[in-house]
Amino acid sequence: MELSAEDRDLLALNLAHGIGPKTLNALLEKFGSASAVRDASPAELAEMPYMGRAVAEKLHTAFASRDVDAEIEELQKHGAKLLRLGSPEYPAALAEVPVPPRLLYVRGELLPRDREAVAIVGSRSCTSYGRKAAERIAYDLARAGVTIISGLARGIDGCAHRGALDAGGRTIAVMAGGLSKIYPPEHKELAAEVMAHGALISESAMKMDPLAGMFPARNRIISGLSRGVILVEANEKSGALITAHHAAEQGREVFAVPGQVDSSASEGTLRLLRQGAKLVRHAKDVLDDLAGLAPLTPVTEPGKRPPDVEAPSARPNVRPVGMTEAEATVWEMLDAARTIDEVCRHLGKSMGELASLLMTMEIRRLVRRLPGNIYERF
């Protein structure tokens, strides 16, 4: 596998422990290239916000000591490839999200038709109702030509992949850890089937263990690859709700399958429905809603708006109909992009109360969240 000098440097940065997607993006924006980041002194790295000299020295050592050749050998051993942000093969939809992965590891194949994708996620501890619903909806969507995205986890994720495979369709699994370590291990055979009919992808180094803190970042990739996200049986603390939050932030549709009103397994999905998520009974509901949306538009430069999309500042400044009084108050204040702290101070609301309200408004496409917890009108 031949990599350019810049791609080798970028891979070295990606191999460094303790550097997440946001920090990596911030470093690349400040220094301009991966090679410049690797050449930076500890003192220069320490100028980054919240970095500190001790952390900067550790990162400087890590950047210089990562074994890029060993990682390339691991990629070749498992038949994996790297896609760099900005390359022609990189998924156009994912390039649009606020913090896109700079490198994607891929086992299998990503095809142009995968731009018509829907994610199905939910609880690991699901009921028989949830399993049947996930499999049935995935099966019917896959039969209609939709690629199914999920996270290969136990429960709803596994059912979604299985439904797509049973329909002879395509499915993509987004993993938190490295692609050389299938997790959970009991899904090794399922992962092999997914690779044969789609792909396994990750932003983590090949041998990286799937640590708990990596799953929220993984979830932004699941939603970023999709035109919409369907939640099936998410309880109040389910990580699947994070995927819904990312979907709203990224301008994707948020769908939820209703469950029994007295079932704790569906507390999260029922709350999302009250907040404005679209109710899903079967695949036709999703197909009907997505049929009214234009296909996702590819971009030529990461972080830039497509040329045919009007900038928010140029859009009519007309209050949308149907807002509650609380939503209208927030919307009026967002006559310019503001941080959540500014909105809190101005309105005298608690952070928890405002965060819940803003998430509801994101789902309903009244506002959008930008990097740095900054909000603007949609």
Pairing mode, strands 228-232 and 117-122: parallel
* Mean pLDDT computed over 5-15: 90
Q: Is residue 360 scored above 80 in pLDDT?
A: no
pTM: 0.77
Q: Who has greater pLDDT, 53 or 150?
A: 150
Residues 28, 172 share a domain: no
Over residues 164-218, the pLDDT tens digits come to 999 999 999 999 999 998 999 999 999 999 999 999 999 999 999 988 878 889 9
Contact 277, 259 (CB under 8 A): no
Within a domain: 365: yes
Residue 253 forms part of a structural domain: yes
Beta strand 338-339 pairing with 374-377: antiparallel
- Domain assignment present for residue 303? The answer is no
User: 325 and 283, same structural domain?
Assistant: no
For the segment 138-166, the average pLDDT, to the nearest whole number, is: 95
**DSSP-assigned letter for residue 18:** T
The last residue of a domain, from among 19, 52, 67: 67
- 250 shares a domain with 127: yes
- pLDDT of 225 strictly over 80: yes
| C-alpha to C-alpha distance for 262 and 251, rounded to whole angstroms | 31
Of the candidate ranges 2-11, 163-172, 201-210, 219-228, the one whose mean pLDDT is the lowest: 2-11
Same domain, 121 and 195: yes
Residue whose entry in the numeric block shows the structure tokens 């979830």? 219
Q: Are 96 and 242 part of one and the same domain? A: yes
| 3-state secondary structure at position 95 | helix
| Whether 328 and 371 share a structural domain | yes
Mean pLDDT for 8-35 is 87
Q: Alpha helices, DSSP H only, in 144-295?
A: 156-166, 188-196, 215-224, 240-249, 267-275, 283-291
Quick one: average pLDDT of 256-263? 88
Total structural domains in the chain? 3
Buried b or exposed e, range 94-130, using 16+ CB within 10 angstroms: bbbbbbbbbbbbbbbebeeebbbbbbbbbbbebbebb
DSSP string, 143-181: HTTPEEEE---TTHHHHHHHHHHHTT--EEEE-SS-TTS
The answer to whether residue 275 scores a pLDDT higher than 90 is no
Q: Is residue 83 part of a domain?
A: no
pLDDT at 316: 41
Give the count of alpha carbons within 13 A of 315, CB side only.
13
CATH number of the domain residue 260 falls in = 3.40.50.450
Nearest to 279 by CA among 253, 308, 302: 253
Share of the chain above pLDDT 70, in %: 91
Please give the C-alpha separations between residue 290 and each of 188, 199, 253, 278, 286, in angstroms, as whole numbers.
32, 23, 8, 11, 6
* Residue 244 and residue 161 share a domain: yes
Rounded Cα distance, 158 and 175, in Å: 12
| Cα distance between residue 138 and residue 293, in whole Å | 20
Q: Confirm whether 162 is domain-assigned.
A: yes
Q: Domain check: are 256 and 331 in the same one?
A: no
- Give mean pLDDT, residues 40-53: 84
Mean pLDDT for the stretch of residues 49-61:
83
User: Helix, strand, coil shares of the chain as percentages rounded to 5?
Assistant: 45, 15, 40
Residues 233 and 345 in one domain: no
Least confident of 12-21, 77-86, 306-315, 337-346: 306-315
In whole angstroms, what separates CA 374 from the centre of its chain? Answer: 18
**Model pLDDT, residue 339:** 86
Asked whether residue 51 is assigned to any structural domain, the reply reads yes
Question: How far is residue 41's CA from residue 211's CA, in Å, rounded to a whole number?
Answer: 29
pLDDT of residue 293: 58
Q: Which residues, in sequence order, are bridge partners of residue 254?
A: 229
Tell me the pLDDT of the chain averaged across its residues.
86
| 124 shares its domain with 269 | yes
Do residues 138 and 15 share a domain? no
- Over range 53-66, report the average pLDDT: 84
Q: Is 263 exposed, middle or buried (0-12, 13-18, 19+ CB in 10 A)?
A: middle
Does residue 304 surpass a pLDDT of 50? Answer: no
Winning range, highest mean pLDDT, from 91-100, 222-231, 338-347: 222-231
Task: State yes or no: pLDDT of 300 exceeds 60.
Answer: no
Percentage of the residues of the chain whose pLDDT score is greater than 90: 45
Range of the domain at 63: 5-67
Same domain, 107 and 170: yes
Q: Has residue 86 been placed in a domain?
A: no
| Residue of 98 and 303 predicted with greater confidence | 98
Asked if the structure places residue 177 within a domain, the reply is yes
Report whether 110 contacts 241 (CB < 8 A): no
Contact of 257 with 234, CB cutoff 8 Å: no
